[in-house]
């Protein structure tokens, strides 16, 4: 009977894995089958490197959106990754138990908040603060980066904390035995040993930042122009798709699907780059 259960579960797991692969393959097929024809009709160079997005005039250049996505994501990484890693280090090695019992559920709660709520928070809180400090509309790259940094914190903190707790205690204890302080043992023994898990958390955080739509739409300004400062309003690739797909048709719709293809390839390049870096440092 146990053998039958093992064989049955083996096939269940195999079918589940196959379904996951099929789902990814179907998504890829849909994107490339519907996006490539439009990209070829517009011209790949003209589409990717074009600086003007005006569908009514037949102009489909997505370079401003590509740069907008890069700038907003980079800003979120610069702000969110150090904060997330340091928060995880504090929770793992420095946090008193009474505070940890409050801090851990709070961070887990952040992970469950819908993106539209984050966007509303950014619109009602962060945007007015930016208006008071810098003037203008308050919507732009910096505002979107701050909001995305808050949104990716739970992912980075959770994965980094798990990675730190998986490090064998002998690393930390050996460092103490050699005369290092508690802080040096944590940052120069335990933290480097968890770099693989930390990289995984950073990759997941980047994926969340790049793919975020509704929150960014509410605070980024949604201007399909080349950004000239961190306070400039921008439109990301995801925002471009969600704002115009509802009424797009023909070549316009194909160009939006081609935008999704560029975003898909962009995320793949980031994941492959991090994987190569991880293998190189291993």
Tens digit of each residue's pLDDT (9 = 90 or more) over 23-65: 989 988 888 888 888 888 888 899 998 888 888 888 898 999 9
Report pLDDT digits (tens) over 185-224.
999 988 988 888 888 888 888 888 888 888 888 898 888 8
Q: Tell me how far apart the alpha carbons of residues 164 and 194 are, in angstroms, rounded to a whole number.
A: 6
What are the structural domain ranges in the chain?
2-49, 62-281
Closest CA to 196 of 274, 273, 92, 269: 274
- Give percent above pLDDT 70 in the chain: 98
- 151-180 b/e (C-beta count within 10 Å ≥ 16 → b): bbbbbbbbbbbebbeebeeebbeebeeeeb
Q: Tell me how far apart the alpha carbons of residues 15 and 76 are, in angstroms, rounded to a whole number.
A: 38
Query: If DSSP codes are grouped into helix, strand and coil, which group holds residue 96?
Result: coil
Closest CA to 154 of 200, 90, 201, 111: 111
Closest CA to 197 of 115, 274, 117: 274
Q: Tell me how far apart the alpha carbons of residues 110 and 83 are, in angstroms, rounded to a whole number.
A: 15
Per-residue CA distances from 47 to 34, 54, 176, 256, 259 (Å)? 15, 12, 57, 11, 9
Stated pTM of the model: 0.86
Tokens of 249: 């048709």
Q: Stretch 125-145: mean pLDDT, rounded? A: 90
Residue whose pair of structure tokens reads 């990209």 in the numeric block: 39
Superfamily (CATH) of domain 62-281:
MetI-like (1.10.3720.10)
């Amino acid at each position: 009977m146990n053998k039958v259960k093992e064989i049955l579960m083996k096939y269940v797991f195999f079918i589940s894995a196959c379904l996951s692969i099929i789902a990814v393959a179907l998504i890829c097929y849909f994107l490339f089958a519907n996006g490539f024809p439009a990209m070829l009709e517009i011209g790949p160079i003209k589409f990717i490197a074009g600086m003007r997005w005006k569908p009514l005039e037949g102009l489909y250049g997505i370079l401003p959106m590509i740069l907008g996505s890069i700038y907003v994501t980079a800003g979120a990484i610069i702000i969110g990754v150090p904060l997330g890693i340091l928060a995880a280090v504090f929770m793992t090695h420095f946090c008193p138990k009474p505070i940890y019992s409050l801090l851990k559920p709070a961070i887990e709660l952040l992970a469950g908040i819908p993106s539209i709520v984050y966007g509303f928070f950014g619109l009602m809180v962060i945007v007015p603060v930016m208006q008071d400090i810098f003037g203008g509309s308050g919507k732009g790259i910096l505002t979107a980066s701050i909001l995305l940094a808050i949104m990716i914190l739970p992912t980075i903190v959770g994965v980094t904390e798990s990675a730190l707790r998986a490090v064998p205690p002998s690393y930390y204890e050996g460092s103490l035995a050699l005369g290092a302080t508690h802080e040096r043992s944590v940052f120069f023994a335990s933290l480097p040993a968890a770099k693989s898990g930390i990289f995984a958390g950073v990759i997941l955080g980047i994926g969340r930042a790049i793919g975020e739509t509704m929150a960014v739409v509410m605070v980024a300004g949604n201007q399909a122009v080349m950004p000239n400062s961190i306070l400039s309003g921008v439109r990301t690739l995801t925002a471009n798709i969600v704002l115009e797909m509802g009424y797009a048709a023909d070549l316009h719709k194909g160009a939006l699907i081609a935008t999704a293809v560029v975003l898909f390839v962009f995320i793949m390049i980031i994941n492959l780059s991090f994987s190569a870096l991880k293998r190189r440092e291993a």
